[in-house]
Chains A and B, each alone.
Chain A
Amino acid sequence: MNKLSRIAVLLAAGLCAGCSSLGPKPWEKDLMARPEMQLDPYPLQTAAQEHIYFSKEASSGGRGFAGGGCGCN
């Protein structure tokens, strides 16, 4: 879809601009280390919510959950 691809590319470009040096230093990731700062800290809650919305609405899914964290080890 044209509109969809444009949104995705714009957002990705925005995020990726200067990706090579973007982001905090390893010792600045104390907050990223917190469990609640992960992308999906409560998988059973997310599963239940998605199940309910899937049964009541026509759209589904779209999420992915890789990344974030403090980079420890």
Chain B
Amino acid sequence: MNRYVLAALMVLLGGAVARAEPLDLSRYRGKVVYLDFWASWCTPCHLSFPWMNDLQQSYGREGLAIVAVDLDRDPHAADGFLAENRGALDIVRDPKGDIARQFNFKDMPTAILIGRDGRIRATHSGFVTSQEGAYQADVVRLLAEKAP
């Protein structure tokens, strides 16, 4: 995947505005994007939120943008959970999976890490608290790169 794909994504998703909230990744150009796919029924997803909030607080100023895509079929299913846990995270709703379909993953949650160059650089399949250090190391590594 390269920046052209990212551009294609934006076009595609712009067209899907009737079904999903638009995911406009152009806002994040030059930043590192942590694109996280989750749902309210997925237990490890719950555990990832406090960690993602910590990450946002620690590295937001350095150019980290976390986008949490909610894949619940009923967009309001996660309201209760989000009321307590959202923090400062950007939430995008994708009830029909139109955004998720553009990526190829099999676990819930899955986080796609997009570098400052707009390319997919890493994928985190699932969320295990004992791996938080490794997840963070990937993010720090991408933040250290300069924007093209």
Contact partners of B146 in chain A: CB under 8 A: none
Q: How large is the interface on B (under 10, 10 to 19, 20 to 34, 35 or more residues)?
A: 20 to 34
User: Which residues of B (52-78) have their CB < 8 Å from a CB of A?
Assistant: 71-73
Query: With A and B bound together, what is the CA distance between A70 and B40 in angstroms?
Result: 13
Query: With A and B bound together, what is the CA distance between A54 and B123 in angstroms?
Result: 49
Instruction: Known contacts A70-B108, A73-B126; decide if A33 and B97 are in contact (CB<8 Å).
Output: no
A22 to chain B, nearest CB (A): 14
**What is the total number of residues of chain A having a CB less than 8 Å from a CB of chain B?**
11
Q: How many A-B residue pairs have CB under 8 A?
A: 45
Q: Are B41 and A28 in contact (CB under 8 A)?
A: no
Interface residues as binary, A52-73 with B (CB distance below 8 Å gives 1, 0 otherwise): 0000000000000000001111
- Looking at chain A's contact residues, the main secondary structure is loop
Contact partners of B127 in chain A: CB under 8 A: 73
Q: Are A26 and B107 in contact (CB under 8 A)?
A: yes
A27 beta carbon closer than 8 Å to chain B:
yes
Instruction: Among B42, B44, B100, point to the contact of A25 (Cβ < 8 A).
Output: B100
A3 to chain B, nearest CB (A): 37
Partner-B contacts on A (CB < 8 A) = 25-30, 33, 70-73
18 contacts between A and B (CB under 8 A): A25-B101, A26-B105, A26-B106, A26-B108, A26-B110, A27-B71, A27-B108, A28-B73, A28-B97, A33-B41, A70-B41, A72-B44, A72-B109, A72-B126, A73-B44, A73-B108, A73-B126, A73-B127
